[in-house]
Amino acid sequence: MTTKGEKDYIPKKLGLAQGERGNEVDRLQAYLGKFGYLESPVLDEFGVRSPITSPPSAEKGVFDDATVLALKKFQDFNHLPVTGTLDQATLSLMGQPRCGFPDVAEFTNTGRRWPTTNLTYGFQEFSPDLPNNQVIQGIEQALSLWSAVTTLRFTRIAVSSNPHMIIRFAAGDHGDGNNFDGAGGVLAHAYYPPVPPNPPEPIQGDAHFDEAETWTITIPPAGGSFDLVTVAAHEFGHSLGLGHSTVTNALMAPFYGGPHRFLHSDDISGIQAIYGGYGIAHAMWVHGTSIQIEYPDRIEWMQRFGFFTRIRGKANTTNWFHFAIPTPVIVDNDRKEVGPVILRFRTGSANAVVRDVHVFDGEARIAAHNGVNLSGDHFFERFGVAHSPPVLWGLGITIGVTFGGGTGDQRNMDFIAAGCDLRP
Ligand SMILES: [Ca+2]
Ligand SMILES: [Ca+2]
Ligand SMILES: [Zn+2]
Ligand SMILES: [Zn+2]
């Protein structure tokens, strides 16, 4: 197994510049080729070749004009000074963990998309790093980010039933020609959907995770481990048809920068450009005054205002808060299906944090958004339910909150309203 820093495609020589030759140039060209900045087979393997963005071909081992051009494009894509030489900032970034999908794809107008919004996924392998139920939980949370802003729905089926998206955890050579590279470096990759009306090829839509990494769903991840929710949500962006974003804070940016369990507006406009926006058939809301408190003895002070409730948690406590949403279950002989739930809240400071949001139908938990860690103003925050099941008994939302130290005001938490959308 290769360890961090020993990968043959990651350049090492600071100051490498035009005109140089040899092994260090090979490394640089390998990196630029692997991620789509120089002509290489990955462009076809990942389906990102575009007639308008054909990358240059370099002479192997020679830091030629084509290599300079490619390096400048990498620097430009990643908001580094465009020097065309292997400076410190460039060298550092190239050593960072990232997605294995090439960077050149333009996110819209590739024509790649699933012809349906009812998608299926299945596991070919699980990860030995986590119990299977935690892997499933992490994958569901990742998918629910995309279903919160579209009409996409994701149902888990057996891999033998031919799901649209097959999830694999594999190390090294795993049969698709894009070998993983040991711990660090490339964390995962995924394959675009087909261009309709072409039927999908077997690998299209699939997401592969490097088993040489240590995966976790615990926030914050222990040293050296990677957040499966974040990486999976990113990879499913590719499985749905999105390329890499040049917006640094987008989920679809190519480098892993720690847990990122939310979509950026750039991600939302990307996915909605492909699958359309989110249509609401029915919506139900309750005021924040209807909130129920799990542990009243951990509350320092509370007041109900016109339609919201302000709660001040005791310092260094956790609590759970519950909303029961009056939910129509059957209307005109039609059983309703769950869409996203929505919370409207604000916290007095980063000392009051919405940590987890769980969605229940009756006694069954149908979605868990763990470790979302939201503070400040959130006047319309959507939480998806990946598989959009039919409503059986009515929806409830349970919110896990952590109160830290600080002044009383800093531990305030305003629950303004809670709601849910029901699908057409
Ligand atoms: Ca790796
Ligand atoms: Ca592992
Ligand atoms: Zn990616
Ligand atoms: Zn693979």
What is the per-residue pLDDT for 109?
59
Topology (CATH) of 282-423:
Jelly Rolls (2.60.120)
Q: How far apart are CA 357 and CA 352, in angstroms?
A: 14
Q: How confident is the model at residue 216 (pLDDT cuts 50, 70, 90)?
A: very high
Residues with CB under 5 A from ligand 4 (ion): 176, 178, 208
Distance 91 CA to ligand 1 centre (A): 18
Q: For 77-106, what is each residue's pLDDT tens digit?
A: 999 999 999 999 999 999 999 999 999 765
What letter represents residue 242's amino acid?
A: L
- Mean pLDDT taken over the chain: 94
Of 3.40.50.180, 3.40.390.10, 1.10.520.10, 3.40.1710.10, which CATH number belongs to 118-275? 3.40.390.10
Catalytic residue from among 106, 235, 294, 363: 235
Q: Average pLDDT in the 46-55 region?
A: 77
Residues with CB under 5 A from ligand 2 (ion): 129, 211
Distance 191 CA to ligand 3 centre (A): 10
Those residues whose C-beta lies under 8 Å from the C-beta of residue 43, and which sit 6 or more positions away, are 36, 49, 55, 102, 104
Distance 210 CA to ligand 4 centre (A): 8
Q: State the Cα torsion 239-117-162-47 to the nearest 10°.
A: -30
Q: Does the reported pTM lie above 0.75?
A: yes
Question: Considering the chain, what percentage of its residues have pLDDT values greater than 90?
Answer: 89
Q: What single string gives the DSSP state of each residue in 171-199?
A: -S--SSS----SSSSEEEEE-PPP-TTSP
Closest C-alpha among 400, 271, 391, 294 to residue 345: 400
What is the per-residue pLDDT for 2?
43
Q: How far apart are CA 97 and CA 230, in angstroms?
A: 13
Q: How confident is the model at residue 50 (pLDDT cuts 50, 70, 90)?
A: confident
Q: How far apart are CA 228 and CA 233, in angstroms?
A: 8
Distance 84 CA to ligand 3 centre (A): 24
Q: Average pLDDT in the 232-241 region?
A: 97
Distance 97 CA to ligand 1 centre (A): 8
Task: Provide the terminal-to-terminal Cα distance of the chain, rounded to the nearest Å.
Answer: 50
Active-site residue flag, 235:
yes
Q: At what angle do helices 65-77 and 23-34 cross, to 10 degrees?
A: 50
Closest C-alpha among 369, 343, 356 to residue 399: 356
Q: Average pLDDT in the 8-27 region?
A: 96
Point out the least confidently predicted range of 44-58, 147-161, 339-353, 368-382: 44-58
| Ligand nearest to the CA of residue 1, numbered in listed order | 1
In degrees and rounded to multiples of 5, residue 274 shows phi and psi of -90, -50
Those residues whose C-beta lies under 8 Å from the C-beta of residue 78, and which sit 6 or more positions away, are 93, 246, 254, 255
| Ligand nearest to the CA of residue 9, numbered in listed order | 1
| Ligand nearest to the CA of residue 238, numbered in listed order | 3
Distance 189 CA to ligand 1 centre (A): 10
Residues facing 334 on adjacent strands: 331
Distance 111 CA to ligand 3 centre (A): 18
| Ligand nearest to the CA of residue 107, numbered in listed order | 3
Do residues 271 and 384 lie in contact, with contact meaning Cβ atoms separated by under 8 Å?
no
Q: What single string gives the DSSP state of each residue in 108-173?
A: SSS----S-SEEEEEES---TTS-HHHHHHHHHHHHHHHHTSSS-EEEE--GGG--SEEEEEE-S-
Domain ranges, ordered by start, for the chain: 23-95, 118-275, 282-423
Q: How far apart are CA 319 and CA 303, in angstroms?
A: 17
In degrees and rounded to multiples of 5, residue 294 shows phi and psi of -70, -45
